[in-house]
Amino acid sequence: MNEAHSGLKRCIRTRQIGQRILPVAHQAGARHLAIEALNPTFAEQANHTRVVPDYEAGYLSQVEMRSFIQAALDLGWTLIAYEFDRFKWLFEKHGIDLSSSDETERHHRWQEFQPEFMTLEFTNWREEQQALNIIRVLQSWPQNTPLLVWCGNSHHSKDGGDEWIPMGYQFKKHSNIDPFVIDQVSTVKFNQNEFPAKLLEEFSDELLKFGGTAGFLAEDAPYMLDSDNSDDAKLLSLHNELE
């Protein structure tokens, strides 16, 4: 399942819906939440104390993200960090081993290679690393253990293109598991020119009955909404601002 964000702006509704579905996922047997935004230190501390650690900046400092994570902890869930190791790229591509370096040296070398981190090659490598990290976690558990994966924007897409190859596609390819993917961002206002106002006008009365947000299986998608193989269910909402 995804949330919508652009830089540090985010659609708060997407995280609030995530928190709302936790009890349902719990009832279905899930006890683990993998979040793209987590780092290992934060996840380890939260799992140990059962309280969301203090954090000064970024997504982990935002109120609704912290509420979402705390709700999972309150249910007894375990948090999983699956983001890539940024220094692994330097080692694999350039043979630079920073495992024994101090933080100042690591930061300096990371900055040195910033242009590479804007390339499609790096982006696809990152997507694959995320997928492989999730697979390694699943392989360490009993077979068929449920896992809720929480990512940003379209990283969970199962549709692999000729250029960008998202984490969801990579996960399916490497694991032979077809994950159930829920998309929340169809109506988010990333770009005013692309906002599907007509779609919401069509379904606004129906959405209001459900508090402004409702979903459907991809196979039941409205005729005016493009359907592909990237997700299995979609949410439409009247609450779509990035803030």
SS (H, E, C) the chain: CEECEECCEECHHHHHHHHHHHHHHHHCCCCEEEECCCCHHHHHHHHHHCCCCCCCCCHHHCHHHHHHHHHHHHCCCEEEECCCCHHHHHHHHHCCCCCCCCHHHHHHHHHHCHHHHHCHHHHHHHHHHHHHHHHHHHHCCCCCCCCEEEEECCCCCCCCCCCCCCHHHHHHHHHCCCCCCEECCCCCCCCHHHCCHHHHHHHHHHHHHCCCEEEEEHHHCCCCCCCCCCCCEEEEECCCCCC
pLDDT at residue 200, rounded to an integer: 87
Instruction: Judge if 52 and 6 occupy the same domain.
Output: yes
- Amino acid letter for position 7: G
CA distance 46 to 66: 11
Residue 133: pLDDT over 90: yes
Instruction: Judge if 218 and 190 occupy the same domain.
Output: yes
pLDDT at residue 221, rounded to an integer: 81
Residue 92: pLDDT over 80: yes
Percent of the chain with pLDDT over 70: 95
pLDDT at residue 44, rounded to an integer: 98
Instruction: Judge if 187 and 223 occupy the same domain.
Output: yes
Q: Which tokens sit at 87?
A: 């220094």
Q: What is the pLDDT of residues 16-62, one digit of tens each?
A: 999 999 999 999 999 999 999 999 999 999 999 999 999 999 999 99
Q: How confident is the model at residue 228 (pLDDT cuts 50, 70, 90)?
A: low
- The reported pTM is 0.93
Instruction: Judge if 216 and 231 occupy the same domain.
Output: yes
Instruction: Judge if 158 and 38 occupy the same domain.
Output: yes
Backbone angles phi, psi at 72, to 5 degrees: -65, -40
Rounded to the nearest integer, the mean pLDDT of the chain is 93
Instruction: Judge if 204 and 131 occupy the same domain.
Output: yes
Structural domain contains residue 107: yes
Q: Which tokens sit at 28?
A: 């279905």
Q: How confident is the model at residue 148 (pLDDT cuts 50, 70, 90)?
A: very high
Q: What is the pLDDT of residues 183-208, one digit of tens each?
A: 999 899 998 666 677 778 888 999 99
Instruction: Judge if 140 and 103 occupy the same domain.
Output: no
- Amino acid letter for position 47: N
Residue 107: pLDDT over 90: no
Q: Which tokens sit at 126?
A: 């990152």
Structural domain contains residue 37: yes
- By residue range, what is the domain housing residue 99? 88-118
pLDDT, mean of residues 153-180: 94
pLDDT at residue 243, rounded to an integer: 95
pLDDT at residue 75, rounded to an integer: 98
pLDDT at residue 125, rounded to an integer: 96
